[in-house]
Structure 1
Amino acid sequence: MTLPQPPAGGAPIARLLTLLIAVLLLGGIGTGAVLYAADRSGKRDEEQQGGPAVRAGSVSLQPAGQQLVFRSMAWGPHRDELATVPADHPDGERTASGVKCLRFHAAAGTGICLQAVHGALEDTYRTVILDAKLHELHTFPAAGIPTRARVSPSGYLAAWTVFVSGDSYAGTDFSTRTAIVDTRTWALQDNLETYAITKDGHPFQSHDTNIWGVTFADDTRFYATLATGGHTYLVQGDVTARTLTTLHQNVECPSLSPDGTRVAYKKRAPGAPADAPWRLYVLDLRTMTETATAEQRNIDDQALWADDSTLVYALPGDFGADLWTTPADGSGSPRRLVSAAVAPAYLG
């Protein structure tokens, strides 16, 4: 029996079929790999590049337990979002909220979020007051680059500072604008420089005053920095009377302790470099005694009290900034608390 022979030119056709099958198989493998990777990405919802683990989820400003909330600086889809970790496990996986802030603070279920609004020609900025579920309650235009934000212990007042010109406190060529809003009525005091100032026991006026870094004692009294004539002062402010009174010199970005007896602040240290002049100090408001903390690096931040004995503050890090902690009484030594984080608030 004679078997039929393939037609002339059959070999090239067979080779083409083999090649086509190989291409289809490789394409199927590639597609499968892409789908598998996408599926894993969706399940993990993180694209970190060596940074802390982050998952999308629900963030509350009135958590069931004590939480640390901050702006997450970890690379990936959740960079710059507010994120939370348990206060007693700060290095754990963080939950990202989807809300992006440049500066943030919160207390008693009220949050303040200073945001950039990206435009075609230039960025603008705004202040957003948030409820406990991070929903927007009210917004205000911000006159410049956001730098400081605080909420009063009751959640009824919020304050923020922006750079109107210049971008650093280290030099002298800058101007700030600080505002306070009542979150119950939305009454806005948009420039604290209009307050009546008492300096060294006497009424004081000057065209070069700058005020920044509000920290609240209650819904009437606060502390802040007043700069004039090349010097800085700790001032006590009264929201109702609209007054500022100087208390102590060489104080910037104060932060009041939970018990209301001390202020942590950055102080220009003698002999420090002009571009890195600050060290972290604590002032006893009863005795006006200063205590240098164990942190000897330059601090360009408004420190936060984790409790009555511990300070938290930001320093430059691999992802932009890390949170560090040191005892407020000058003992011990600094240690890193959270990597890739800035603008913290303790809640719960």
Structure 2
Amino acid sequence: MNQSLQTRGRVVILLVAVLLLGSVGTGAVLYASGQSARKDQVQPGGPVVTKGPVSLDASGDGRRLVFRNMAWGPHRDELATVPADHPDGPRTASGVQCLRFHTAGGTGVCLQAERGALQDTYRAVVLDDRLHELRSFPAAGIPTRSRVSPSGHLAAWTVFVSGDSYAGTDFSTRTSIVDVRDWNLRDNLEAFDLTVDGKPYRAPDVNVWGVTFADDNAFYATVATGGKTYLVRGDLAARTLTTLHENVECPSLSPDGTRIAYKKRVAGASPDAPWRLYVLDLATMAETPTAEQRNIDDQAVWADSSTLLYALPGDFGADLWTAPADGTGEPRRLLEAAVAPAFPG
């Protein structure tokens, strides 16, 4: 079989696997975007969703939650907002559609699909605080992760470019970071110098995904190579990645910069549902399992210094759940028919 047919076969396998698994990670992207025929069906008993202004400016009245609305109806897949202290209230939908989304510092990053006659293409769109497009960049594959630095100066995104899922071994990612002040684009973090266990490291199977920012230079991410995953600390100016801890995927830095929430592959779990939600203390490297015992295929968000927010599969694609970061308590569903949450700030 020639390489072209092999590549085509891998793409077909990817799409079939994603649709069958219906995971919150990549599967939710395709599951929800493929439900456009249901846009004319209002979800029975679902949330009230109406069109209106959505802002990423945190200076307004009260803290707000912005997310991708997955409730059936004309505003499915649009960015929507609710008061953070009243998440089950009416939703205001923006008209802007995103597969993945994040915001901080008045900047948003929205990963979008552009529907084609033969195949879809994807792009990463940088938005201002009124959701107006500032600049867009072609994305090489299916969107899976996005983050903005606390200042709003940097935006990052990860896409799948081949393979079937994070749970397998046959996948490839592309992670990019852009500085919105001068539009300097680092289009592939795999080009950065990698240090593994204190030694310079090079290998053809290196993949990078799931950026989370400390500031406008330092960040954390996942690196996979040799059948292992690592938490790495990145230095944007030096173009370096340095491993810190093994078996960490999709990190999310706490507001005080001291802890990482992440999904960890656990022994004895199902091969296609291997991850549990953990928190890592960066000073001691001590791991704390959260009370969430279900499979997590998401990059959690810190709702505050003690609470994690994440997506799990739901009746309409995904629901948002919370759990304490210290391992106490129990999971609680915060919002149904929603994914890709962020708190403007």
TM-score > 0.5 by shorter chain: yes
2-structure distance, mates of 1:341, 1:47: 15
Q: Give the equivalent residue in structure 2 for 1:53.
A: 48
Equivalent position to 1:98, from 95, 98, 119: 95
User: How many percent identity over aligned positions?
Assistant: 76
Equivalent position to 1:309, from 303, 306, 328: 306
Residue 343 of structure 2 aligns to a residue whose secondary structure is: strand
Q: Give the equivalent residue in structure 1 for 2:258.
A: 261
1-structure distance, mates of 2:318, 2:295: 13
Question: Does residue 247 of structure 2 align to residue 230 of structure 1?
Answer: no
Question: Does residue 260 of structure 2 align to residue 288 of structure 1?
Answer: no
2-structure distance, mates of 1:174, 1:107: 29
Question: Does residue 159 of structure 2 align to residue 162 of structure 1?
Answer: yes
Residue 329 of structure 2 aligns to a residue whose secondary structure is: coil
- List alignment gaps of at least 5 residues for structure 1: 1-44
Q: Give the equivalent residue in structure 2 for 1:151.
A: 148
2-structure distance, mates of 1:302, 1:201: 27
Q: C-alpha offsets along residues 154-187 of structure 1, whole Å, 9 cap, x if unaligned?
A: 0000000000002411101100000000000000
Q: Give the equivalent residue in structure 2 for 1:332.
A: 329
2-structure distance, mates of 1:155, 1:288: 28
Following TM superposition, where does structure 1 have runs of at least 4 consecutive aligned residues deviating by more than 6 angstroms? none
Q: Give the equivalent residue in structure 2 for 1:275.
A: 272
The answer as to whether partners of 1:49 and 1:76 remain within 8 angstroms in 2 is no
Structure 2 letter corresponding to 1:163: F
- Give the C-alpha shift of residue 46 in structure 1: 9.0
Q: C-alpha offsets along residues 86-140 of structure 1, whole Å, 9 cap, x if unaligned?
A: 0000111110000000000000110000000000110000000000000000000
Q: Give the equivalent residue in structure 2 for 1:4.
A: none
User: Normalising to structure 2: TM-score of the pair?
Assistant: 0.87
The answer as to whether partners of 1:102 and 1:116 remain within 8 angstroms in 2 is yes
Alignment: residue pair count: 304
Structure 1 letter corresponding to 2:51: A
Alignment of 1:92-131 (within 5 A): 92-131=89-128
User: Normalising to structure 1: TM-score of the pair?
Assistant: 0.86
Alignment of 1:240-251 (within 5 A): 240-251=237-248
Q: C-alpha offsets along residues 207-241 of structure 1, whole Å, 9 cap, x if unaligned?
A: 10000000000000000000000000000000000
Residue 46 of structure 2 aligns to a residue whose secondary structure is: coil
Equivalent position to 2:135, from 131, 134, 138: 138
2-structure distance, mates of 1:174, 1:46: 35
Question: Does residue 212 of structure 2 align to residue 215 of structure 1?
Answer: yes
2-structure distance, mates of 1:235, 1:51: 41
Structure 1 letter corresponding to 2:151: S
1-structure distance, mates of 2:313, 2:95: 24
Residue 317 of structure 2 aligns to a residue whose secondary structure is: coil
Structure 2 letter corresponding to 1:51: G
2-structure distance, mates of 1:168, 1:272: 16
Q: Structure with the greater relative contact order (CA < 8 A, sep ≥ 6): 1 or 2?
A: 2
- Give the C-alpha shift of residue 330 in structure 1: 0.1
The answer as to whether partners of 1:106 and 1:150 remain within 8 angstroms in 2 is yes
2-structure distance, mates of 1:237, 1:226: 11
Alignment of 1:183-202 (within 5 A): 183-202=180-199
1-structure distance, mates of 2:77, 2:160: 20
1-structure distance, mates of 2:153, 2:255: 17
Larger radius of gyration: 1
Residue 268 of structure 2 aligns to a residue whose secondary structure is: coil
2-structure distance, mates of 1:133, 1:347: 12
- List alignment gaps of at least 5 residues for structure 2: 1-39
Structure 2 letter corresponding to 1:334: P
- Give the C-alpha shift of residue 48 in structure 1: 3.3
2-structure distance, mates of 1:338, 1:312: 10
